[in-house]
Structure formats: structure tokens, C-alpha cells
A and B are shown apart, each in its own frame.
Chain A
Amino acid sequence: MREFFHRLAQNRWILPALIVAGFVFAIVAQNFPILNNYTKFVLITAGINIILCASLNLVNGYMGEFSVGHAGFMSLGAYASAIFTTKWIPDSAAFFPVSVLFGGAVAAGIGFLLALLSFKTRGDYLAIITLAFLMIVKSAWENIPYVGGPRGVLGIDPMTTLPWTFFWTVVALWAIRNLVYSKFGRAITAIREDEIAANAMGVRVREAKILAFVVSSFFGGVAGALFAHQISFINPGSFDIVKSTEILVMVYLGGVASLAGSILGAVIFTFLSQALQPLGYWRMVILPLMLVLLMLFRPRGILGMRELSWLIPRRETQKNNAP
């Protein structure tokens, strides 16, 4: 049995097969009544949370910084894409992927600026910059009548379907995986371990940091765009510090510097927060309590610093298995 699983884990076809199967399932589930709408809703939420969690993990886990502003990037992506589909090119499902890309691009652009500006700061100072950024974004939307001010954007076409969510989740995980196991990825991890030493060894710290930040904010924006087209209503208050805290909880629950951990953390968080809803306030006692206990016994999260071998590129696994 163990041998079977081991062989399964080593099989290079398993991951593509899973992706194809998942995609087929998503299309079937979307178009045939095998799942009810609520189940679809929860699955889509889980997908969006996986994207959020994995993209924040890039900055907070792999790079070891502490950003608390991820909801801000989500907000940028949500607004940009919602304006795109409600005001610029309304009633056109064909442009939905473009609008998601646009949302991601806007978030990435602002993320790039923020990374440039805050390059000198790090650690807890970066945390505060992202926090201030979050509050500025929320307040900015509240003051722009074009995007509805505090009222937000209404009547967004609910175009976020299961296949699209699955597609973007796979794209996000694939992109982050490839980044993490690239030359830049090593630079990013080196920054986490020791920035000064990394710099001395010739790692291009600045480029690596900015790239990680931009990719992270891009997918934060993509998740926001999907969220906007799932709920079909966004307002500035949807993306506040509480939302950021939720994403942080998912990241550290699942485990830092681990994509499998991000998937797990997001899935657990999504299902538990739906399933524990009847408990009222106790829900938000139980979830953080789990997190605190987990931190005390596994300080890096459930799968912190570990990875499912499926999710590691083939050349890497071979390298690691070599004596």
C-alpha cells in the first residue's frame, strides 16, 4: 500500500491527469445539475481562497516578510475588473478573462509601486506600509463617486463559474510553483534566510523582492476579480483588515512556504467557516484557537516548509533524490 502511494507520488502523469480530471469535473458540474448552487458557491470560494492564500504565501512564507495588505490587492483587482465588465464593456461574457487579467494587472501595477517605495523597509515596517496601503485603498474607493463611493459596485454579472475558478487556481499555483523553483525563487528564499548574506553572495535582492511582490499582488487581484464576479456586489468594506486577517490565518494554518499547505489551509478555512456558521461568535473562537494550538505544536503550520512531491517540478525531485 505504502509502496503504491509512493509510486503514485512519483508518477509524472498524475498531476496533469488530476488537472484534466478536475477541469472536466468543473465543466460537468457547472452545466449539469449534479451539485447544487450552494455547493458550487462554496467550491468557488475555496478556489478563490486558494489563490489568495498561495499568493500571500509567496511574500509571507517564501520571502519571510509580513504583509497584512493582501485584501487591498484583492480590492484593486475586484474593482478594476468590475468596472471593466459593468461600465466599459458590459454584457460580454467573452471579455470576462480579459477583465480578470485587467484586475490582476492593476493590482500588480500598484504592487510594483508599493514594492519600489518600500524597498528600503522590511520586516515589521513593511507590515505597517501594507496596512497603511490597505486603509488608503479602502478610503480611496469611498471617495471616488465613479466606482459608487462607499456604496460600491452593483449588478456585476456573476460570471465566475467553476471551470474559470479551477482554471485560475491552477494557473496561480503553476505560476507560483515555477517562480519558487526558479533562479528568482532561490533568491527569494535566500532573502528569507538572510538578506545581507544573500546580497553579499550576489543575489539580486531588489529584483527578486519586487518580482515576488508583483506576482503576489497580481494573483491577489485575480482572486479579487473572481470574487467580484462571484458575489456580484462589492463595496470598500468587503476588503478590510478583517479580510486580510482571514487570509493570514489561512496561510499560517496551512503552512508557510508550501503550496500544498496553502491549498490545505484555504480548503480547511473555507469549509470550517461555512460549517461552523451556526455557532455564531464561537466560530471565530474555534478557528483562532486551532491556529494558536497549531502554532504552539507546529510553529510553521500544518505543512510548513514541506511540499507534496507532485507539486515540485520534476527536475527538483530528481535532484533531491540523488544521493
Chain B
Amino acid sequence: MVPKKLFCLSLALSSAFLFGCGQGGTPSVKIGLNAELTGEMPAVGASAKNAAELFVSQINEAGGIEVGEQKLPMELVVGDNGAKADQAAAVAQRLISQENVLVMAGPDASACAIPASEIAESLKCPMISPWSTNPKTTVDSTTGKPKNYVFRACFTDIFEARVLAKFVLNTLNAKTAAALYDVASEAPNAQATLFKEVFEKNGGRMVAFETYTTGDRDFSAQLTKIKAANPEVIFLPTYYNDVPLVIEQAHRLGITAQFVGSDAWSSPEILKLGGAHLEGSYFCNHYSTEIATPVAREFMKAYKDRFGQDPDDVAALTYDAFGLITQAVTRAGKLDREAVRNALASIQKYEGVTGTMQFQPGSGDPIKSAVMLQIKDGKFDWVANAEP
């Protein structure tokens, strides 16, 4: 009899879980955040959550968000996607169907943002990914047309690859390059492939194109191969926690080539982990603290006061995503997903922390510029702007 009792008990518990979730309370503007709090890139999730909390507390202190005639408080619902595709989809389902959020912000990693965007699109809930640069996030893969409900607050991999290839060819004056990237990771993979395409089209030569798999720590074999090919530049579009490992091992092998990275480098964690080995490397980013506008300076100060550290680009982009959402909700004038989606698509020149932006007609991709940064004296140093 014992097994049967246990069995019935657990079924009873699970049905309680299913049906026991109630709703109600005072009206508020519910915004979901689908973030990488655990898993391979916890720094990304933490920045997103910090920035979102900062924004929500600021707007609530100011009396709330203006919707039609009244001001409503903004409510944040955070879900952890563990930096995994299936969990990101589950969180998107939960935020949209169970928590009934008006808009979903995130996920940030492209491998998570793509499946989540499919769900947002099918449930007709506006979603805005702060940091996912992969073109597929906002484009329907079967029809090739832009998705209706999916937006992003950052530029795309295509633009970034063009900026980087031009920087290597024209500014660094290098004609040969090698790449090393995580083949199993969405964004790095796309960035490496696109970089190769643009670089070779403009007269550069890729002398080595090497890969590894998520979780690898030994890159000596790949780096020895790269060393033998003797490139002037090594393009390293990998996430911030792998970069210091690669560069340190490269230096031990006697490699002296210039390292260039993508926006996946931008977490300040990279400086703690990489130290002196990173000095002199360049990477492409969404914004620079050095050329901050008044809006950006205000945000940076508030962020630093609250969390004791400088905001990275994920934080800045998340903050902008929430700014875009707020403006769209106010313009829509009602708590309706369709109206908010339309308002979001027709935003003109939103001035955010990472620059002014507006969405390309009929697409969820904004028109905005990028910056090139160099790591110098343990800091991110502004080098150049790249206009779209």
C-alpha cells in the first residue's frame, strides 16, 4: 500500500501546483525579464537583473508609468533561464502565459533568445532582447521575414562583423588574421563566420580558423596551429570567461599577434580574470563610459551608487530596453500587447544610455552605432566610433 499512497500524494501535490496559482491584486504594468542568472554566463544575468531593478525602482519612485489617464506602478517578474535553450523557452512560456506580463525583456544570450523569441511571436507578446546580436533572433527562420513581436536594443552580428573587419583592415592595417571560437556557442560562432566573410571580401586573408567546444580549457593545440600560420591579428569572439584563458596560453606559447574581440568581451569580469595579459587588445562594444551623454552619466552614477560597480553594456542595454518599453506603453495608452507592439515599432529617436535609436521600418533591429574599445591600464579605453 505504501507505494500507492506515495503515488497518490505526489499526484495530488502536482495538481495543487497546476491549479493553485491564483491571480489578482492592484493593477500594475507587469514586465518580465528572462535572464541568464545561472549557468555559463552568470555575470550577464546579474547585470540584466540589476539594471532592470534599478529602472523599475526609479520609475516607481517617480510615481509610476503613465498609462492613459493614470500612473501605474511597474512590476518586475524575473525568470532564470540558466543560459539554456529549453529552459529559456520554458521561462518565456511562464512569463507570458502564467505571469501574464505585458512585455518580456531578454534573454540576452542568442542561444536562449532565439527559442524564446519563437514563443513570444507565437503568443503575440512583445519581446525585446537587450543583448542578443544574432540576426535570427528577430527574423523568422522559415519565411526569412522579420518577426512581428520581437525587438532588440542592440546592433546585429552582421553590423558588428563589418565594423571589426574594417577596423582590422584599415586601422590596424593587418592583412592576415586567424580566428579561434567556441563552435557550440551561438553568438561567437555567428560572429566568427561573418567576420571571415567580410574580411576576405575586403582583401584580407584568414590563415587559420580554429574552434573549440564549450567547457574546453586547453587551447594549446589550436594556438600552436595558429602560431604556425603566423597571423597579424587573432580574432577571438568568445565570451568573457574564456578570453583570459586563451590569451594567457597564447602568451606562454610565445604568440605576439594582436588580439581583437567582440562585444562578448564586455563584462568587467574580464579585467579581473585577464589582468596584464589583456593589455592592448581591442574589442567592439555597444557603448563606452568615456563618451557618455548626460543620460548615460546619470545612469552610470545611479548604477554605481546602488551596486558598487560600473555598469557593463548588458546593464546599459537592459536599461535602454526598459526605457523603450516604458515609452511604448505610455504611447500606447493602454495595457494591451498589440498596442504596445505597435507603439514600440513606431518609436522615433529614443535617446538611451547606449545612444539614440529607432527601429528600422518593418523590423525589430534598431539603427545605432558601435564603439571600438581598447584594454589599457586595466580599463576599457575608447578608440573610435563606428556609425551604421
Q: Which residues of A contact B (CB under 8 A)?
A: 2, 5, 9, 35-39, 41-43, 45-46, 86, 90, 139, 142, 149-152, 154-155, 158, 227, 231-238, 260, 263-264, 267-268, 271, 274-275, 277-278, 280-281, 302-303, 306-308
Contacts of B123 in A (CB 8 A): 37
Contacts of A235 in B (CB 8 A): 85, 111, 184, 186
Contact check, B141 vs A38: say whether CB atoms are below 8 A apart.
no
Determine the interface band of chain B, counting residues with CB < 8 A from chain A. Answer: 35 or more
Interface residues of B in 12-58 (CB under 8 A from A): 13-14, 17-18, 37-38
Q: How close is A121's CB to chain B, nearest CB, in angstroms? A: 26
CA A86 – CA B118 in complex, angstroms? 15
Contact check, B11 vs A267: say whether CB atoms are below 8 A apart.
yes
Query: With A233-B89, A237-B85 in contact, do A155 and B142 touch (Cβ < 8 Å)?
Result: yes
CA A233 – CA B98 in complex, angstroms? 21
Can you name 12 A-B residue pairings with CB atoms under 8 Å?
A39-B98, A150-B183, A151-B190, A154-B141, A155-B141, A232-B119, A233-B115, A237-B214, A260-B7, A268-B10, A275-B17, A277-B79
Q: Which residue of B lies closest to A239 (CB)?
A: B86
Contact check, A36 vs B98: say whether CB atoms are below 8 A apart.
yes
CA A232 – CA B80 in complex, angstroms? 19
Contact check, B86 vs A238: say whether CB atoms are below 8 A apart.
yes
Q: Which residue of B lies closest to A43 (CB)?
A: B18
A-B contact count (CB 8 A): 118
Q: How close is B249's CB to chain A, nearest CB, in angstroms? A: 22
Contact check, A264 vs B141: say whether CB atoms are below 8 A apart.
no
Contact among A43, A264, A281 with B38 in the assembled complex (CB-CB below 8 Å):
A281
Query: With A154-B141, A237-B184 in contact, do A231 and B97 touch (Cβ < 8 Å)?
Result: no
Q: Which residue of B lies closest to A86 (CB)?
A: B142
Contacts of A41 in B (CB 8 A): 90, 93-94, 97
Query: With A150-B189, A277-B79 in contact, do A303 and B17 touch (Cβ < 8 Å)?
Result: no
CA A35 – CA B93 in complex, angstroms? 13
Contacts of A263 in B (CB 8 A): 7
Q: How would residues 145 to 164 of chain B score, 1 for a CB under 8 Å from any chain A CB and 0 otherwise?
A: 00000000000000000000
Known: A155-B141, A277-B91. 18 other contacts (CB 8 A): A35-B18, A37-B98, A38-B97, A39-B18, A39-B97, A139-B213, A151-B136, A151-B190, A152-B85, A154-B141, A232-B115, A233-B85, A233-B89, A233-B115, A236-B184, A237-B111, A264-B6, A267-B11
Contacts of A42 in B (CB 8 A): 18, 90
Interface residues of B in 58-93 (CB under 8 A from A): 79-80, 84-86, 89-91, 93
CA A233 – CA B137 in complex, angstroms? 12
Contacts of A39 in B (CB 8 A): 18, 97-98
Q: How close is B89's CB to chain A, nearest CB, in angstroms? A: 5
Contacts of B122 in A (CB 8 A): 158
Contact among A154, A238, A308 with B3 in the assembled complex (CB-CB below 8 Å):
A308
Q: How close is A274's CB to chain B, nearest CB, in angstroms? A: 7
Q: How close is B312's CB to chain A, nearest CB, in angstroms? A: 20
Q: How close is B141's CB to chain A, nearest CB, in angstroms? A: 4
Instruction: Please tell me if B316 contacts chain A, counting CB pairs below 8 Å.
Output: no
Nearest first, the 6 closest Cβ-Cβ pairs linking A and B are A37-B97, A38-B98, A233-B115, A155-B141, A154-B141, A38-B97
Contacts of B10 in A (CB 8 A): 264, 267-268
Q: How close is B149's CB to chain A, nearest CB, in angstroms? A: 15
Contacts of B96 in A (CB 8 A): 37-38
Contact check, A271 vs B17: say whether CB atoms are below 8 A apart.
yes
Q: Which residue of A lies closest to B110 (CB)?
A: A151
Interface residues of B in 113-141 (CB under 8 A from A): 114-115, 118-119, 122-123, 136, 140-141
Contact check, B184 vs A302: say whether CB atoms are below 8 A apart.
no
Q: How close is B91's CB to chain A, nearest CB, in angstroms? A: 8
Contacts of A281 in B (CB 8 A): 38
Contacts of A154 in B (CB 8 A): 114, 118, 136, 141
Contact among B6, B90, B118 with A45 in the assembled complex (CB-CB below 8 Å):
B90
CA A103 – CA B84 in complex, angstroms? 23
CA A5 – CA B10 in complex, angstroms? 17
CA A151 – CA B96 in complex, angstroms? 25
Contact check, B7 vs A303: say whether CB atoms are below 8 A apart.
yes
Instruction: Please tell me if B281 contacts chain A, counting CB pairs below 8 Å.
Output: no
Contact check, A308 vs B7: say whether CB atoms are below 8 A apart.
yes
Contact check, B6 vs A38: say whether CB atoms are below 8 A apart.
no
Contact check, A280 vs B80: say whether CB atoms are below 8 A apart.
yes
Contact check, B183 vs A303: say whether CB atoms are below 8 A apart.
no
CA A86 – CA B94 in complex, angstroms? 26
CA A271 – CA B10 in complex, angstroms? 10
CA A306 – CA B94 in complex, angstroms? 35
Query: With A231-B89, A233-B118, A264-B10 in contact, do A303 and B98 touch (Cβ < 8 Å)?
Result: no
Contacts of A271 in B (CB 8 A): 13-14, 17
Instruction: Please tell me if B252 contacts chain A, counting CB pairs below 8 Å.
Output: no
CA A149 – CA B189 in complex, angstroms? 10
